[in-house]
Amino acid sequence: MIEGLANKIALRIKEADPEGSTSIEVMEYALGVIFNLIFTVFLSCLIGWMTGKLIDTMIAVVGFGTLRYFSGGEHMKSLTACTIISTAIFSIVPYIAINSSLVVIFTGIATIIMILFSPNICEDTINPTLPNSALKAVSVLIVLTNFYLQSSTLILVFLIQAMLILPMRGGGSHEKGYS
């Protein structure tokens, strides 16, 4: 769905400016990433608003997105699947209550994973122009804030993101010697 929409718009842009230097593939990719973000945030916030959990849903979206920006991680093959699964996660996580002891334990686990494996910069990751050591430090600090905040919502999205930086399929910077 998202890929098809991005392709149609990229084709229209190219038709309007055939001499433009940007390829259809590059425009399609960029539009797809933008649409994925817009649809995920919009749908998550809509569901959060409809279910009375808008603030917690926004905390999940911002917490996950911020950590992912610095720590990298695996991507889904389809932007549409990414939108659907991300929206489901951001909409369900606010309903999962975790006691304070588990929040501390899970925060420790997520911190250790970030120390060991972040950043996991995949080929198609848009990442900041910071050295890996700075990306790792920021990722760890983001997770460490939850020792103070004690947020069930944040630790659940932090744990999910931590799982996405684990080198599961022979990829990621860790196995390539870039950390």
Cα–Cα distance for residue pair 18/9, rounded to 1 Å: 14
Beta bridge partners of 72: 120
* 125 Cβ neighbours under 8 A, 6+ residues apart: 72, 73, 75
Residue 23: φ, ψ to 5° = -75, 160
Between vectors from CA 17 to CA 11 and to CA 22, what angle results, nearest 5°? 70
The Cα–Cα gap between 94 and 156 comes to 9
How confident is the chain (179 residues) per 10-residue block, as mean pLDDT?
82 81 82 90 98 98 96 85 94 96 98 94 65 93 98 97 82 42
Provide the pLDDT for residue 125: 56
pLDDT of 173 reads: 46
Residues in the chain: 179
Q: Give the model's pLDDT for residue 19.
A: 81
- Which amino acid is present at 172? G
The Cα–Cα gap between 91 and 93 comes to 6
Specify the pLDDT at position 116: 96
- Find out whether 6 and 32 touch, Cβ atoms under 8 Å: yes
Q: For residues 44 and 57, is the Cβ–Cβ distance under 8 A?
A: yes
What's the rounded Cα separation, in Å, for the pair 88 and 128? 27
